[in-house]
Amino acid sequence: MLRIENMDACYGLFQALFRVNLEAARGETLALIGSNGAGKSTLLRAIAGAIRVGRSTITLDGKAIGGDPEHSQIANGIALVPEGRRLFADLTVEENLLVAAGAAKKIGRTGEWTPERLFKELPALDPLRSRPATALSGGQQQLVAIARSLVMNPQILMCDEVSLGLSPVAVDVVYQLLRKVKQAGTAVIMVEQNVSRALAESDHYCCLQKGRVVLKGVSAQADYGRVAHAYFGA
Ligand code: ATP
C-alpha cells in the first residue's frame, strides 16, 4: 500500500501541492482528475522522487520513502511513465526494453515482466522491435513507454496523461494493458483528462484543484456532477 500523508510540494517559492492525502493499493487503479495546473503531474513527480518532499509524507508498506531520489524510488518499486514518454530516441524498441531490463537486474527488480513477455502480451509491438523508438505512432510509443516501466517490475506504476493525443483504438489497447498490470497485482496511478474514461477505468478517483484534494472516492459510486464540479472548480 502506498500512502501519501499531508504532502506539500514546491517549485522554488511556488507551492504546487497542499497537504495531499491519498492511498493506492496493489491490484487497484487510482485515477487523478483535475483541470490544467491542478497539480496532477506534480503529485506523480513528487512520488517518483523528481521533486523533494518530506520523508514521512510517502510510505510504501509502512516504510517512509518520501524525499528519496528518483533512482531510489525506482529501486523501491515506483515507476513513472511521464507525459511525453521520454523514450531513448536513438535506440530501437527492443533496445529500449533491454536497457531497462539491464537496469532492473542491477537493482534487483527482475520479475515476471521481461521484454519477451511484453512482446508476447503486446503483439502489436513485436513486429516493431527493430524500429527506432521514435519512428512509431503515439499509441505505439505509449505502449513502449509503459512496457519499459513494467520491465522494472514496479509495485506502483504511474502513468501521466494516459490517452493524450492517442486515437480511440490506441487508447483501448493502452487500457487493456493497464488492466492486465493491475490484475497482476500492481497499483496503477493514472492521470486521465477524459473524466468518464478515468472513472470507468479506475477503482478509486481523486480530484485535485489548485494543488488540493477536493474530492475522492470509489469510482463506481462517483457522482458525475460532483466530479465535474470538482474538476472545473465551478
Ligand atoms: P496539466 O493537466 O496541464 O498537465 P497538472 O494538473 O499536471 O496540469 P502540474 O503540471 O502539476 O499540473 O502543475 C501544477 C502547478 O505547478 C501549476 O500551477 C504549474 O504552473 C506549476 N508548475 C509545474 N511545473 C513547474 C515548474 N517546473 N516550475 C514552476 N512551476 C511549475
Tens-place pLDDT, residues 131-179? 999 899 888 898 999 999 999 999 999 999 988 888 888 889 889 999 9
Q: Is the CB of 32 under 6 A from ligand 1?
A: no
Class of domain 2-86+156-232: alpha beta
Say whether pLDDT at 203 is over 80.
yes
Say whether pLDDT at 75 is over 90.
yes
Q: Going by C-beta distance under 8 Å and a sequence separation of 6 or more, which residues neighbour residue 149? A: 79, 80, 81, 100, 157
Q: Are 39 and 207 in contact (CB under 8 A)?
A: no
Torsion of CA 82, 88, 89, 92, to 10 degrees: -120
* Spatial separation of the C-alpha atoms in residues 179 and 197, rounded to whole Å: 13
- Going by pLDDT thresholds of 50, 70 and 90, the confidence category of residue 180 is very high
Atom of ligand 1 nearest to the CA of 44: 11
pTM of the model: 0.94
**Edge-to-edge, what's the strand order for the sheet holding 156-159?**
78-81, 156-159, 187-191, 29-33, 204-209, 212-218
Q: Is the CB of 42 under 6 A from ligand 1?
A: yes
2-43 pLDDT, tens digit per residue, is 999 999 999 999 999 999 999 999 999 999 999 999 999 999
Q: Is the CB of 40 under 6 A from ligand 1?
A: yes
Q: Is the CB of 36 under 6 A from ligand 1?
A: yes
pLDDT of residue 124: 87
81-130 pLDDT, tens digit per residue, is 988 778 888 899 999 999 999 999 999 999 999 999 999 988 889 999 99
Atom of ligand 1 nearest to the CA of 43: 11
